Structure 1
Amino acid sequence: MDLQHKKGTRNMRKYNFYILMTTFLLAIVLGNQTKVNAESINDYQNEIQELEKEQSKLKNKESDVKSNKKSVENKMDDNLTSQKSVKNQINKIDTKLSSTKADIQEKEQEIEATKKEIAELEADIKKLKNEIKELEERIEKREALLKDRLRSIQEIGGNVQYMSVILGSESFSELISRSTAVNSIMDQDKVIMEEQIADQKALEQKQKEVEQKKKDVEDKKAEQEKQKEKLQSLKTELDQQMAEKEKAQEKLEEEYEELEEYNLSLEEENKLIAEQAAAIEKAKQLAETEKARLEQEERERIAREEEARAQAAAESKNENTSNDSTTSSSGSSDNSGSSGSPAVSSGGSGSFIWPANGRFTSGFGPRWGTNHNGIDIANGRGTPIVASASGVVSSVVTGCVEGDISCGGGYGNFIIITHYIDGKTFSTLYGHLSSVNVSVGQTVSQGQQIGGMGHTGHSTGSHLHFEIHPGGYKNPVDPMNYLR
């Protein structure tokens, strides 16, 4: 698995983690802020106790996250120490490699110098061979000359010939002359012999010197080649060590990157836990406020009942006056019971209120060859759109203009709010808006204005398209069964 693929996998895990944590956060916030539907003080007391349990769980989770974060940071420190050690080893190997390469280069230069020396020696040998050849030719000529001289002496007898030369002299001066000539000839023969011997020795010496010098140079070259081979072997070993260390370094860097990303995810988780804790605390305060309100209402109700009983006791003294007064009160109550009816009515008994005033123009179910996933309420452009229940804004699309039927997937400008009511999750969608007054993550209360009616997206006129999805978005049901 390559590094890029690993990064992609880690990013996907991180994305899934954020989705999970965000869902959990919404559940906490919504599960506690929309409990305004609770019908008794005990409901709020139970809700406060549940919130306190959630606070305790969050504290434990925060402790676990901090412990994990500390462990990860220690591993990161250990990793950096290991990286430093490996880098030092790599530097040492690199120094050895540089030195070895320099030695190899130096040895190659020595080998080249030796090769040059061998080439020069071979030229000298060639020259010497020519000299030897000339010397051999001279020796060969001398040998032929000496053979002829010896043969002549042998044929006529050496001493007799010498005596005949001296005795054949006719005068003293001739005798001297002939004796000198004989001595000269004998001296020349002696020189020839000496030169012959000297040349023979020189020939043998030169041959020995050439052979020894050639052997020495060849031995020197062989030794240099052997040293170079050792250096090359050392270089190969160092290259292998370098490759192993670089691989270890790469692995450590990759491990550090993973630890760093995990550490960042723990920081994000810590942040989310802090946000959850703040949301729970806020929800707890709201529940306590609502509980206090109900308690106050209960006290006021009890006070009113006591006052009514006291008043009834006082009025019982005069039965006729009391009966007239009771009749008048009943009539007045009946007259004030209704001040009009809304333009739309569902007949349902759910927890959601109507998100807008207007005419009911289309219901849930099959329509125009497809399924209509909500209901339509028509009214003028800009008519206020309100949150059908308390919750948190989970999605917002803006920027759509009238006439662009594909904008927002056909919904135009729209809002999705996530709700948590009586232990269940719901999503509501408000489409074709002309304006949007909320943003993602914002907490809204039931009845709070969130936008204005319009006909952006795939719309034939100004109206609100409204959907309810139990269990989260993508599970549409008929809103009429949930509206009141």
Structure 2
Amino acid sequence: MKKGVSLMLATTLTVTTITFNGSIASAETIDGLDQKINELEKEQNELKEKQGDISGNKENTEGKMDKNEKKQETVDSEIKTIDDKLTKTQEDITAKEQEITSTDNEITKLQERMKELKEEIKVLKERIKERDELIKDRLRAIQQSGGNMKYIEVILGSKSFGDFINRSSAVNKIMDQDKTIMEEQQADKVKLEANKVEVEESKAVVEEKKVALENQKEELVALKDDLGDQSIEKKTLMAELKEEHAGLEEYKVSLEEEQKILAAQSSAIEKTKELKQSEKGKLQQLAREEAEQEKSASTPSSSNGSNKNDRVSSQSNSGSGQFIWPAAGPKTSDYGMRLHPIQGVKKLHAGMDIGSTSGTTLKAVASGVVISAGRMGGYGNAIMITHNLNGKTYTTLYAHLNSISVSAGQTVSQGENIGQTGNTGNSTGPHLHFEVHEGGWNAAKSNSVNPMTFMK
């Protein structure tokens, strides 16, 4: 998208001064003025068409700006939603990381517990092994002694009742010990199996939990990455929309600026028409006076001729077609390509600079009509004047002014005070920037020419 518009102001505005080489104003000269007036009217109509086109472009641009702003609001809302999701996802990731850390702690504790259980299992196995040997020995002894029958023989072999009691107690004790050994053996075996199951099941549960948590974290990280991509995409879109909006806004401003200049130019044309009408009236009056003089006397007196020529010369100008120096000071920069002192890039310097201190009197380089007078972007305070030199239209521009003493539509004479030089706009120091354009001024400066070509 273009971010500016060339303000093509190619309308020919003329301010003509009339010099008579003879004493007779011809009908052809009056016809020439009529032709000029018709041309100015045609230019006014063309300006109106341009203004209509600009108004349409401006409305279209404003419509695009409205759509852009609504799109920005939508994208901004989407960015906020994504940012909220990102925040929530990051919180979930942090929570999962904490759970994984907690699970790792559980695994560490479980590993310690497994070490303890393994030690217990080792002890249990040793005890079971020892009991197995003891039980085997007892079984062999019982087998060799005949089992329970030997216990009866021991009891029946008692010598007395007291001996009977002692022998019965001894047998019971032996049998209780055997029972205890068997019960402890069974209990240790059960505990051994239980410990094995606890180790395996606990390990499986915790490891499964950790895998689940890590999978959930991976999903959250993937979601975060996706949301991050969406956020980058939306923010990129927002940056593009803002850039587009800035371009549209700049284009709208340039259209508004062009509207102002076209309106000022239309006023200048109207002023020029009035001057042409006035010149035409004066020519007609001179022609009538000339005709009356021819009728009243065959030889006009020298004094009358002198007075007539005085009247004519009062309407005339030097007719030199050259510009005077606009302000006191030396030329400090020429017309042409140069490294821009502020932007730092090589570009066309469409005029020349004159080293004038702030407050130096500024003069119109030639007679003409003021097109615009006021703030003009990087030019700061500026004046544009249209001139006619040898039947050709030129526009002069005076920039970075401290003050302005004329207004749009005003006619000025060569050498007339129109303001003061200064340091406004994009300027590195007090000076006058002076441009000359063939025809109307345009922002592209494609019709700019070297001012020194026209200087006295």
TM beyond 0.5: yes
Tell whether 2:80 aligns with 1:107: no
Structure possessing the higher radius of gyration over alpha carbons: 1
Match of 1:390 among 367, 382, 392: 367
* Equivalence map 1:53-452=2 (5 Å): 53-306=42-295, 308=296, 351-352=319-320, 390-391=367-368, 419-425=387-393, 443-445=411-413
Q: 1:163 to 1:127 in 2, by over 3 A?
A: same
Greater share of helix residues, 1 or 2?
A: 1
Q: 1:162 to 1:63 in 2, by over 3 A?
A: same
Match of 1:34 among 8, 16, 25: 16
Aligned partner of 2:261: which letter?
A: L
Q: Match of 2:388, SS?
A: strand
Aligned partner of 2:12: which letter?
A: I
Q: 1:157 to 1:354 in 2, by over 3 A?
A: closer
Distance 1:170 1:96 in 2: 97
Q: Is the 8 A contact 1:470 1:477 kept in 2?
A: no
Q: Match of 1:64, SS?
A: helix
Q: 1:129 to 1:388 in 2, by over 3 A?
A: closer
Tell me the CA shift for residue 157 of structure 1: 2.7
Total equivalences in the alignment: 362
Q: 1:107 to 1:335 in 2, by over 3 A?
A: closer
TM-score normalised according to structure 2 size: 0.68
Q: Is the 8 A contact 2:97 2:217 kept in 1?
A: yes
Aligned partner of 1:34: which letter?
A: T
Q: Match of 2:320, SS?
A: coil
Tell me the CA shift for residue 151 of structure 1: 2.1
Tell me the CA shift for residue 424 of structure 1: 2.4
Tell me the CA shift for residue 438 of structure 1: 8.6
Q: 1:275 to 1:214 in 2, by over 3 A?
A: same
Distance 2:227 2:438 in 1: 67
* Structure 2: tracts of 5 or more residues without a match: 311-317, 325-362, 372-383, 397-403, 419-436, 440-448
Identity %: 45
Distance 1:130 1:227 in 2: 36
Distance 1:236 1:355 in 2: 69
Match of 1:44 among 28, 33, 39: 33
Q: What residue number does 1:456 align with?
A: none
Q: Is the 8 A contact 1:55 1:280 kept in 2?
A: yes
Distance 2:264 2:82 in 1: 51
Tell me the CA shift for residue 130 of structure 1: 1.9
Q: Is the 8 A contact 2:62 2:252 kept in 1?
A: yes
Distance 2:267 2:364 in 1: 23
Q: Match of 2:31, SS?
A: helix
Distance 1:205 1:138 in 2: 16
TM-score normalised according to structure 1 size: 0.65
Q: Match of 1:420, SS?
A: strand
Q: Is the 8 A contact 2:89 2:220 kept in 1?
A: yes
* Equivalence map 1:438-477=2 (5 Å): 443-445=411-413, 473=450, 476=453
Q: Is the 8 A contact 1:351 1:389 kept in 2?
A: no
